[in-house]
Structure 1
Amino acid sequence: MKSMNQSTMLFKGAFILTIAALLTKILSAFYRIPFQNIVGDIGFYIYQQVYPFYGIAIVLSTTGFPVVISKLYAEQMEKGDDEKSRLLLFVSFVYLQVIGFLLFLILYGGADHIAGWMKDPQLAVLFKVISIVFLIFPFVSIIRGYYQAIGEMTPTALSQVGEQTIRVLTIIFLSSLFMEKGFSLYFVGGGAMVGSITGSIVASLILFMFLQKRKEWKGMAPSKGIFQNNSLEVKRIVKMLTFQGLMICLSGMLMIFMQLADSLNLFSLLVSSGTEREAAKSLKGVFDRGQPLIQLGTVAAASMALTLVPLISRERLATKSDNLTRKIQVAIKVSIVIGLGASSGLWAIIEPTNIMLFENGNGSDVLGVLSFVVLFTSVISTIIAIMQGLGNLLYPALAVMLIFPLKYLLNMMFIPLLGTMGAAVSSLMALGLVTFCLVFKFKKMIAVPLFTYRILGIVLTAAITMVVVLKGYLYVTNPIIAMLESDRLGAALQALSAVLLGGSLFLVIIIRGNVFLEEDLREFPFGSKLIHLLSRKDKE
């Protein structure tokens, strides 16, 4: 009975954290749209140049370190060793504080050098602002790890949602205020970066409030002489944090490494290729419009796949190999179906979507190519999550680390030839190579087919049919939309109706084509509704 209660608590906690993660991802994607509308493409370029460094801080404080700390603390609790539990928290805090302080010094002290590398010295002040976040993240990581260890996921979830909400509100408020006051776009960008600090402070305050209310300080505070006769334990803790913590953190930085490579050389390569500086900033800002579109598409795939990953971990622990294999195959199918559906659908309607969200259709061809990033990131994130669930941490981290040098070098090859289209092409090529490496290793691990050619054929047929229908729909409705006074309103009506049409068509072909069995559909959110689309004989 106790084991069942622990299992129920575990999956309830995983569900709470998954919902919190999805909410923060949705907030992170949506705020960029009004922000770009406020500051324009050059203002968006300024913000996106520095954003990857904030993304690193977020990964450090939400994944990796809290997970490892919670695992180690739970082990000490089971042993009933209170002294070593306190030692773990204290050593972890000192370890993370050293990392945070070093990253702070690198960003604050090296702000001019990093901005110079990007060929835009005015960005230095933004790096100095964002560096402060690295002094705060150790507090957040430790307390989140502590609460996750004792099975309390609510503090972590609330701190994540609170952090992102306050950050978004700060960004929108300060950018609107500073633009209204007529400040420079770099000053506005610095104000937007302040949102990262206010968000981190709020996350800390929420977590501290839980500690204060529950009087849990005494259980975390280090005791006198805590290091006596514990040198081997300290080394073990540091080793676990370094290996497992960093491996999980690195695995979560796929898109951050992609954006970092673009921040470091896309603008400078455009300028060195003969593009005027202000035009290059605008082009980079237009290219960065793809980030919220990619995030929204990836969230849709991740929300489905993540519901299956805890089930995969449970089947592995229960040593039920048949069920484990089936759930892995379903998770992979989900990532391919939703990834390809979102990518191809977005490519088909990218122009009205671009106008609806960002006021004009600039760069629609580049954003259309970028939309296929959703397919690769959906598959990669699902495979990484499953590999971690199966106990392999090192290979996914190495594969994700590979993305940065690949993307950076491919940018150097293609941007001088194709401009921002070259950056989009290099993104797909880099992700394609990383996907190949992961699939190659993954197939060796599970030694069963991931999907059949029949399934792949149905998914491709559904995607192609959807694209043809959507292109025809846009062609037919263009004259009607042109009659409206507002181009943006017309684009919004066209894009949203196209999403409904294309999504419904794609879903019907997938379900009726038996890509998923009835028992698979029952494990999805709203799966009981989707079962009704199956043919009668498939439901029997």
Structure 2
Amino acid sequence: MSKATGKFVKGALILSVAALFAKVLSAFFRIPLGSLIGNVGMGYYGYGYPIYTFLSSIAIVAIPSTISKLVAEKRVLGQYKEAHLIFKHTMRFMIIVGLIMSGFFIIGSPLLIKAFRWEEQTIYSLWGLSLSPIFVCIMGVYRGYFQGMQNMVPTAISQVLENFGRVVVGLGLAYFFMPNVGYAAGGASFGSVVGGVCGALVLALLYLKHKKEIHEEMDSQKQATIATPFKSVVKVVLVLAIPISIGAAVNSVMNFMDSAIVTAVLVKGGMSDLDAANLFGQLTNTSTLVNLPLAFGMALVTSVVPAIAEAVARKDHKEMQDKMELGSRFGLLLSLPAAIGLAVLAVPIMGFLFPESLQGGPILQVAAFSIPFIMLGQAMTGVLQGLGKVWIPVQAIGLAAVVKAVLNIILVGTPLGILGAPLSSIAGYGVFTLYNFIAVKKITGFKLNVALVIIKPLISALTMGVAAYFTYGLLGKVLDASSTIQNAVMTLGAVAVGGVVYMIMILVTGGISKQDLDELKKKKENK
């Protein structure tokens, strides 16, 4: 493993740990929130939630990926002053963009509610989110600059603090506004604004901390500075950021297809608005668990874009191939056990986390199988963006959205009902992943090691699933699954056994080799 590849692995691991912790905080937020405001309240919150996740993907992936790619390319050439100028110009521009977007959400919320036949009380959730774009844009620029320097720590710290602020304030406001469910959902949404303030503030402080080093590096630049006008930087950023924003937001786009279509189809089939919001709330609850492992997918994209951009700038084809294989392996090693584990234990997991979501178990069983497609598709998106082929993922997501929308209309209107939504998601994500993979293979000649990347993790994950299933069943002979506490003990016991079995199997099958472990050990010792 080369030094550059090792840096990529280290960056991906740092972001993965931070993203997992942030998602755990997010889950901690939504689980008590669901108990507090109920399925109907979660429906109000869930209608606007894709907007928040889209904004989050901009902060975590789109803007940072754009800036990190540009900064990484300049730094490889030793143009440190030009890299910093890109940062400054982009910050000015994105603050303006954030203000415009916030104004749009404040004014346009009633139109969204009318267009998609959402409950009127959804307006409080939309208003609660309306100031998020300002802080999302600020965070994105700071994160991109640090990531372009291959420094993932500021992004990791800001992610954790952002989610911590969202959890504390969001839950506090929801509790304060109860029993008015609409106001409570709006208060929960406003937590994202406070989280954004926390994230932006810590990034600004970290930038000030590193400012002396940054200026010393700029002073060391030997070549003449090429002054880049504000308009030129904005043009380049827009050319890259728009397609990257869309390509990185596949999960948000697919969730928006649900919020825009599912409720309307259910109501058209004879269901009341309130019952439709209740069912949509249960679908929203399952997405909390599906999103946990997807944090790693976002970390992959964030790490792979500047890493691939550097390899391309150096014209190092082998390094590029190594990083593409690492990204694919990393994605499936994490997503396959997550998918199978959630599918096998879906009913008991929903039973103790969301006891009011009676239909959540079957929904989660289906939705879990979308995880590998999403994560591998996101990894391929990062590769394409690093290669500068930013419009290909946009084409992929456009095709996937059409498949998702058509199948939503067809399947949700059948006796499948709400289960049609996760089924259509699997099909949509499958199309997204396949399109991106074919493009990567065509452009780079990438050869996927099927045995190493797919077969070995799949065998290990299936064995883990069997172990978790039988562990839960054996514990059920001595414990009472109808008791929430005992069901939680049974479920956590099954998860623990499954995790141990997976780690053993991944070593036995060679999904992770001794060389991989030795390299990671060296990285740790050399810190």
Partner of 1:291: 287
- Contact map agreement 2:396 2:431 (CA 8 A) in 1: no
Partner of 1:531: none
Residue 352 (structure 1) aligned with residue 348 (structure 2): yes
Unaligned residue ranges in structure 2 (runs of 5+): 216-225
Partner of 2:412: 415
- Contact map agreement 1:301 1:338 (CA 8 A) in 2: no
Distance 2:133 2:304 in 1: 33
Per-residue Cα deviation, 1:154-203 (whole angstroms, up to 9, x for no partner): 55543333222111111122222323xxx311110111111122122223
Counterpart secondary structure, 1:362: coil
Distance 1:377 1:8 in 2: 25
The CA deviation at 1:431 is: 0.8
Counterpart secondary structure, 2:478: helix
The CA deviation at 1:314 is: 6.3
Partner of 2:31: 33
Flag the 1:22–1:507 CA change in 2: closer, same or farther, 3 A: closer
- Contact map agreement 1:59 1:249 (CA 8 A) in 2: yes
- Contact map agreement 2:11 2:152 (CA 8 A) in 1: yes
TM-score normalised by the chain length of structure 2: 0.82
Per-residue Cα deviation, 1:79-102 (whole angstroms, up to 9, x for no partner): 999997787556434532443233
Structure 1 range deviating more: 348-357 or 151-160:
151-160
Distance 1:146 1:310 in 2: 11
Partner of 2:133: 134
Unaligned residue ranges in structure 1 (runs of 5+): 220-229, 529-540
Per-residue Cα deviation, 1:466-518 (whole angstroms, up to 9, x for no partner): 44444444444334222xx9611121111111112223333433332233433
- Contact map agreement 1:11 1:310 (CA 8 A) in 2: no
- Contact map agreement 2:383 2:440 (CA 8 A) in 1: no
Per-residue Cα deviation, 1:300-320 (whole angstroms, up to 9, x for no partner): 677789888877666666655
Instruction: Look up the equivalent residue of 1:46 and give its one-letter code.
Output: Y
Flag the 1:450–1:177 CA change in 2: closer, same or farther, 3 A: same
Partner of 2:441: 443
Partner of 1:165: 164
From 500, 508, 522, the equivalent of 2:504 is 508
Identity of aligned residues (%): 25
Partner of 2:124: 125
Partner of 1:224: none
Distance 1:285 1:109 in 2: 25
Flag the 1:469–1:134 CA change in 2: closer, same or farther, 3 A: closer
Partner of 2:112: 114
Distance 1:194 1:42 in 2: 18
Flag the 1:139–1:360 CA change in 2: closer, same or farther, 3 A: closer
The CA deviation at 1:339 is: 2.0
Per-residue Cα deviation, 1:268-318 (whole angstroms, up to 9, x for no partner): 211111122222221111111221211223346777898888776666666
Partner of 1:398: 395
1:66-465 alignment, distance < 5 Å: 66-69=64-67, 72=70, 88=86, 91-119=89-117, 120-145=119-144, 155-179=154-178, 183-209=179-205, 233-299=229-295, 321-322=317-318, 324-359=320-355, 362-363=358-359, 364-417=361-414, 418-452=416-450, 456-465=454-463
Distance 1:81 1:65 in 2: 21
Select the structure of larger CA radius of gyration.
Answer: 1
Partner of 1:492: 488
Flag the 1:174–1:486 CA change in 2: closer, same or farther, 3 A: farther
Flag the 1:79–1:211 CA change in 2: closer, same or farther, 3 A: same
Distance 1:300 1:62 in 2: 12
The CA deviation at 1:367 is: 1.2
Per-residue Cα deviation, 1:27-58 (whole angstroms, up to 9, x for no partner): 23332222212222222121111111122222
Counterpart secondary structure, 1:359: coil
| Higher relative contact order (Cα pairs below 8 Å, separated by 6+ residues) | 2
Per-residue Cα deviation, 1:361-380 (whole angstroms, up to 9, x for no partner): 61211210011121211211
The CA deviation at 1:464 is: 4.0
TM-score normalised by the chain length of structure 1: 0.81
- Contact map agreement 2:6 2:523 (CA 8 A) in 1: no
Distance 1:60 1:478 in 2: 44
Distance 1:375 1:195 in 2: 30
